[in-house]
A and B are shown apart, each in its own frame.
Chain A
């Protein structure tokens, strides 16, 4: 138990990233219009990521604690810079440093985890106090608001997962978490049901039921009730002030089948690709769906369908098992490290990985809506690969400092 390096985690990270490079090669080798081969770029990012991951692993605990707030501020500035530079020409998520493009929204995931961990670490911050909850929400809301403006809904949702995961880890129980996110659920229910008062009333009754059962502190009940009543009253008028295209966007997100030519097409193609892979797959570079590039941008969000087609059930199962072990290792680290700060960081990393893997795989096999959430380590994209490897590095770091406070 005195090993400083968590070998399984380290090995899984590398295995996944190398698989990613291979699958990206397979998915893009027929794309004539790509200037520099994407698998080469991904390999370079992997090399850089490896170095950064190892550096992160070696960082002293005090150093990490010292840079949380500065890192957060830098990320916020970068996010504002993205908005400022993109306002000229359509939406953009990139900021360029010479030849390298970086997505600050990816780095924001790390910064938010660090800042939240530092904020929630202190014992005086009782998670059940409305002030503490509100502050935690605001920390997340700031980057989310900037990212939503880009607009990038998929990435924004990840922050919801980070917040939920870390609040849970900071001591909120599952039912309390449900209460906590109930206003959001309320809005979704209202929109989906077409502002049917009956449906909303039933939902409110169940919320009240949970409150009665859990009996949270009075101030919290007050805040919750106020938020719910506020949301209930303002949801419909606010919805009606949205532009048609904005409403359309939300509706497409909630019901992608309605947009059959866009994301619906991708889902069908993705399912055919995965299904035709069978048990053993069609072999590397042999998948007709992949090689014909039926899926637009299959090397990014739909890389899992490439794996499914070319490597079959064996391949996709192996990948899922690798992810499962990664996440479980993360949870074990979160449980076993002594310091609350490291533990919270580990919980944040686990949240990001779990959310990304479940959303992405769920999307490719038609269980969840298409939200533009890439698969960690495997999807093409330097910023996200780097971020994922830094998150692995943070997990490794937490394990290394598991006896420190």
Chain B
């Protein structure tokens, strides 16, 4: 399933890098601790988090994640969105909580990395 399909089905708002919507999603990971994400998330994963400061872009770019889903209506600032566009990092936002989004991703068949 592509991240674009997921964005559609979960009504996520595309904030950056809409040219990356065709990326195939390889799995999912949720955490607000960046080091945990660095350790666990794999290339092509979708990362669900409440964090929205600029460093999420570096983490997603380094790991070549399919997208970051920022939850609870948080919106990264303009500088972060700008950096994400430059680095080709897809940021999606939703008013829902991380718990809800992870549940919906699971229903779509997106698996966690163990």
User: Do A and B originate from a single complex?
Assistant: no
Report B's interface with A, CB cutoff 8 A: none
| Contacts from A to B (Cβ < 8 Å) | none
